[in-house]
Structures are given as structure tokens and as C-alpha cells.
Amino acid sequence: MSANMNNEPLIRVQDLGKSFGSIHVLKGINVNIYKGDVVFVVGPSGSGKSTFLRCLNLLEEPTQGHIFFEGTDITDPKVNIDKHRQKMGMVFQQFNLFPHMDIMKNLTLAPMKLQGKSQQEAETEAMQLLERVGLADRAHAFPSQLSGGQKQRIAIVRALCMKPDVMLFDEPTSALDPEMVGEVLSVMRDLAKEKMTMVVVTHEMGFAREVANRVMFMDEGYFMEEAAPEEFFGNPKNERLKSFLSKVL
């Protein structure tokens, strides 16, 4: 039986806490993310959004609680995290492409090394994805020859080449020149339409409203409010959310 038929979440976050020394950033978060969810996380700077996202794939080690991914407690030290992390694509504000490799090499490195794909198979799949984001003609360019928006679309493709079950985005457009934001959002919008499970940290409120099925407000180490986008933006309940929205909308 598939996990979904049990309504088992793809990711189950249970009492997640994270402290850096005496700074308690995440204070006991409980949240379920289901297959096909497009969850947007918004909140003030320093509230712990990136920390939350990085805990989901254990780039940060939680100091409290559990994270179940596809039914496995990945916070269990006995678990081989690399195996599970391959199923979680992550896209950062900075693109982190290897500057000395062309785009095709950047895209095929991990599938060949970690998933044992042949070069031909990896390149065929990479080329299909490049076509989807309109960058097939740049396969043999180097990162320095691409614009920021193109580099970020490549970074998304790099994550997709691993055939992830969830994509995590941490402010993927905030380092881009304004005219390049749209092309990256357009790729993300297509992914959401194709029912990719996504967790997105962003300051793009209009985009959150348009694409999310759930929006969550992080402040003071918790998700203070969660709602469908209409409700979240149209009828916020929490005073801190109201104040946040009044500053960003």
C-alpha cells in the first residue's frame, strides 16, 4: 500500500527544536507535509525559516525532536542520511554550481556518482530537464557565462536530476535582479502544477498567495499560524502575523 493511502505524511516533524548555544531558534515544531503539498513558509528575518528548512534534510542537526521522512526517522543516528537526502532536492539563494565544470557536468555529477547512472542516461535525463526550463542550448556553457536567473534555473534542474520526492527552496529568488525573478518563479509554478511536493521559504508574498496550498507563519521559534492562502492573507488572526503582513504587502 502506498504511504499516501494511509495518509502517512511524506514528512512528519515532531517536536522539532534547534538551539545554537543559548539561542533557541526552533522551539518544538509539529507539522506534517503531505505528498503534493506546496507549503510556503514566511516570517520575519531571523525567525528560523532557513534553520527549519535545513533541519528537514539534516543540514542542521536538530537538538530536539524527530523528523520522519517517508516513514523513516531520519534523526535516528543509525540511519544513512545520505540515502534519504538524495530524495530531498534543495535550492538555495546562492546557486552553488561548480564553476570549473560546464552545466552538463554540474547536472550529471551526482546522478552518476550517487545513483550509479551511466553518463548517457544521466545526460539524456539532464537534457530533457534543461529543455523544460528553456536552457537546452546552454548545456555546455560554464556557470560564469550564465545570468543569475539562468543559474538558478540550472540549480533547480540539478536538484530535479536526482528525481527527488520533495523540493526545498530557501529564498530562491532573493539574490536575483528583479527582471530575473519571473523566470525562476515560472519554473517553480510548473513544478507545483505537476504536483511536486514543495516547501518554499520566500519573501514573494504574491507568489505564495498564487501557488501555495498552505502558508505558514514562523515567528519566535514556532509556526504561529497556518492557513490556506486566501485565509492567510485575507483574514490573518494572529496579531504578529497582521503586523508582519502590513509591512510586507
Ligand X SMILES: Nc1ncnc2c1ncn2[C@@H]1O[C@H](COP(=O)(O)OP(=O)(O)OP(=O)(O)O)[C@@H](O)[C@H]1O
Residue ranges that bind ligand X, judged by CB under 6 A: 20, 23, 25, 43, 45-51
Is the separation of the CB atoms in 67 and 13 below 8 Å?
yes
Least distance (Å) between residue 49 CB and Mg ion: 5
Size of the site for Mg ion (CB under 5 A): 1
**In the structure grid, which three cell numbers stand for residue 118, read together?**
551511466
As measured in angstroms, the least distance from the Cβ of 98 to ligand X is 24
Q: Considering only residues 136-155, where is the footprint of Mg ion by CB under 5 A?
A: none
- Going across the sheet that includes 23-33, the strands are 23-33, 11-20, 64-69, 72-73
CA distance 14 to 36: 20
By CB under 5 A, name the one of 47, 50, 75, 106 that touches Mg ion.
Answer: 50
Nearer to ligand X, 21 or 116 (CB): 21
Q: Toward ligand X, which CB reaches closer, 59 or 127?
A: 59
The end-to-end CA distance of the chain, in Å, is 44
Task: Work out how close the CB of 147 gets to ligand X at its nearest, in angstroms, rounded to a whole number.
Answer: 23
Residue with smaller CB distance to ligand X, 7 or 45? 45
34, 51, 224, 232: CA torsion to nearest 10: -60
Q: How far is the CB of 94 from Mg ion (least distance, A)?
A: 12
State the minimum distance, in angstroms, from the CB of residue 190 to ligand X: 25
Please list, residue by residue across 8-24, b when 16 or more beta carbons sit within 10 angstroms of its beta carbon and e when fewer do. bbbbbbbebbbeeeeeb
Q: At what angle do helices 103-115 and 119-132 cross, to 10 degrees?
A: 130
The region of 26-34, 46-54, 67-75, 220-228 touching Mg ion under the rule CB under 5 A is 46-54
Contact residues: Mg ion, CB under 5 A: 50
